[in-house]
């Protein structure tokens, strides 16, 4: 039986399509690869971007729960590389922002809203400790205090300044010594000691300075104060 008219055209199209599929399957190419994957059910290899670990706020390895603030603190390395304070993927303090200096680098954050209130640097090697005392004394209940050291954080600290940090939840500040590295997150009115603190004694890792410290985590926002 001979095909005529429309039937012949359909048959020709089918033959052309089948020939194309067979040729691409046998001889490769992107389309051939797609055909082979279609028939075999094999999945394509993941791309480099898919293999790369997912990055969360401030470089954390996992996301923070709801109503928590993601943070990362990095102390300065010797007297060369400045410290960093990151909160909710925003750099609050860094050399790039040109707001770091020798001593203690501090960021104040509203513990209810997570909003930045202020950033300051205090030279605790040759500066006036009175400036730090005036900064810490009037803090309001619930204020979060982020601290990252650079160079020397302890020489000018006196009993009152150490006590004020202890009231914010620090346990290491009492023994903080010349050129120790220190990162700390505390809060005004905290009932217990802060779980967010690291301190490295001067181990002479960098010709007279200890190694840099890095700490990250999630801080819960506190409910609004009553009244």
Q: Which residues touch 203 (CB under 8 Å, ≥6 apart)? A: 210, 211
pLDDT tens, position by position, 156-166: 999 999 999 99
Long-range contacts formed by 110-117: CB under 8 A, 24+ apart: 110/142, 110/143, 110/144, 111/142, 111/143, 111/144, 111/187, 111/221, 111/222, 112/142, 112/221, 112/222, 112/223, 112/224, 112/225, 113/221, 114/69, 114/87, 114/88, 114/221, 116/87, 116/90, 116/92, 117/143
- Which pLDDT does position 200 carry in this prediction? 84
pLDDT tens, position by position, 106-128: 999 999 999 999 999 999 999 99
Are the C-beta atoms of residues 145 and 106 closer than 8 Å to each other? yes
Q: For residue 134, report the phi and psi dihedrals to the nearest 5 degrees.
A: -65, -25
Which one has a higher pLDDT value, 224 or 89? 89
pLDDT tens, position by position, 48-57: 555 556 779 9
Confidence of residue 4 (pLDDT cuts 50, 70, 90): low
pLDDT at 195 over 60: yes
Q: Which of 15, 38, 36, 37 is nearest to 25 (CA)?
A: 36
The pTM (predicted TM-score) of the whole model is: 0.75
Are the C-beta atoms of residues 82 and 103 closer than 8 Å to each other? no
Confidence of residue 5 (pLDDT cuts 50, 70, 90): low
């Amino acid at each position: 039986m001979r095909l005529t008219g429309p039937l012949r055209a359909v048959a020709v199209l089918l033959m052309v399509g089948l020939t194309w599929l067979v040729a691409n399957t046998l001889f490769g190419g992107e389309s051939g690869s797609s055909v082979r994957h279609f028939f075999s059910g094999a999945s394509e290899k993941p791309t480099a971007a898919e293999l790369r670990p997912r990055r969360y706020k401030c470089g954390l390895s996992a996301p923070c729960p709801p109503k928590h603030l993601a943070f990362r603190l990095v102390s300065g390395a010797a007297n060369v590389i400045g410290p960093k304070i990151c909160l909710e993927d925003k750099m609050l303090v860094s050399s790039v922002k040109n707001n770091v200096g020798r001593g203690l680098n501090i960021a104040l954050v509203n513990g209810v809203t997570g909003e930045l209130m202020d950033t300051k640097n205090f030279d605790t090697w040759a500066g006036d400790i009175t400036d730090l005392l005036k900064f810490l004394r009037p803090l309001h209940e619930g204020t979060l205090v982020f601290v990252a050291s650079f160079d020397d954080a302890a020489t000018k600290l006196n009993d009152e300044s150490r006590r004020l940090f202890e009231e914010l939840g620090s346990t290491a500040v009492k023994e903080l010594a010349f050129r120790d590295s220190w990162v700390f997150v505390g809060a005004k009115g905290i009932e217990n000691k802060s779980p967010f603190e690291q301190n490295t004694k001067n181990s002479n890792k960098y010709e007279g300075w200890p190694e840099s410290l890095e700490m990250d985590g999630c801080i819960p926002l506190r409910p609004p104060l009553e009244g």
